[in-house]
Amino acid sequence: MPRRDKRSDIVNAGIRVFSRKGFSRCSVEDILQEAHVARATFYSYFDSKKDLFVELVDGILNNMEEIVKRNLEDMPTDLNELKERTKRTILDLFDYFSKNLEFASIYIQEVMGMNPEIDARVVEWQRRMAELVSQLIQRGMEKGLFRKVDSYVIGNLISGATQHLGLNLFMFDQRLDTEKTAEAIADYLIYGLAAR
């Protein structure tokens, strides 16, 4: 009989419990019952409920960052290719959340304003994403693809608006056509910046 991975059981139980009850309304006991593990087992892996939650948030943020980097780290040579890669990034993010609905729930409902340490992690992740977008815009301007803009301001605007729009549309509009939405966002972002 294969041996249970109790740490994974606890993490998966935490995802389910946090997404159903929220961080502040659940207890370690709720997680123990969901994971079918003893209290000592929980505390052999995590110091607190917050430590488990921080690990989950870090996992969400790291996965989203990897999706963005994989698709957009290098600068395409023409606008059509950049638009398609931007669209692919948005679709990959939507796909990540559709396969991890509990993560989406945790991210939207629980992450910001809950704890200064977690807030700092999210703010740092948002800064990294804005910096990545800003660098892409800067390279696009250098190649003559984009008109001259303040890449810092626009990078922050694009990364923040895309996250907010995508996550809110995805979570709260069940009729969302992800392909059409990603196309509209990519078209607006890329051709809105295009050199004229």
Which tens digits make up the pLDDT trace of 47-69?
A: 999 899 888 888 888 888 899 88
Pick from 95, 120, 122, 121: nearest CA to 108: 122
CB-CB contact of 195 with 144 (8 Å)? yes
Based on the fold, state whether residues 21 and 104 are members of the same structural domain.
no
- Phi and psi angles of residue 146, each rounded to the nearest 5 degrees, phi first: -110, 150
Domain holding 23, by residue range, is: 1-46
Q: What is the pLDDT of residues 103-154, one digit of tens each?
A: 766 666 665 556 677 778 878 888 888 998 899 899 889 988 899 999 999 8
Q: What is the CATH number of the domain that holds 18?
A: 1.10.10.60
For the chain, the domain total comes to 2
Q: What is the CATH number of the domain that holds 174?
A: 1.10.357.10
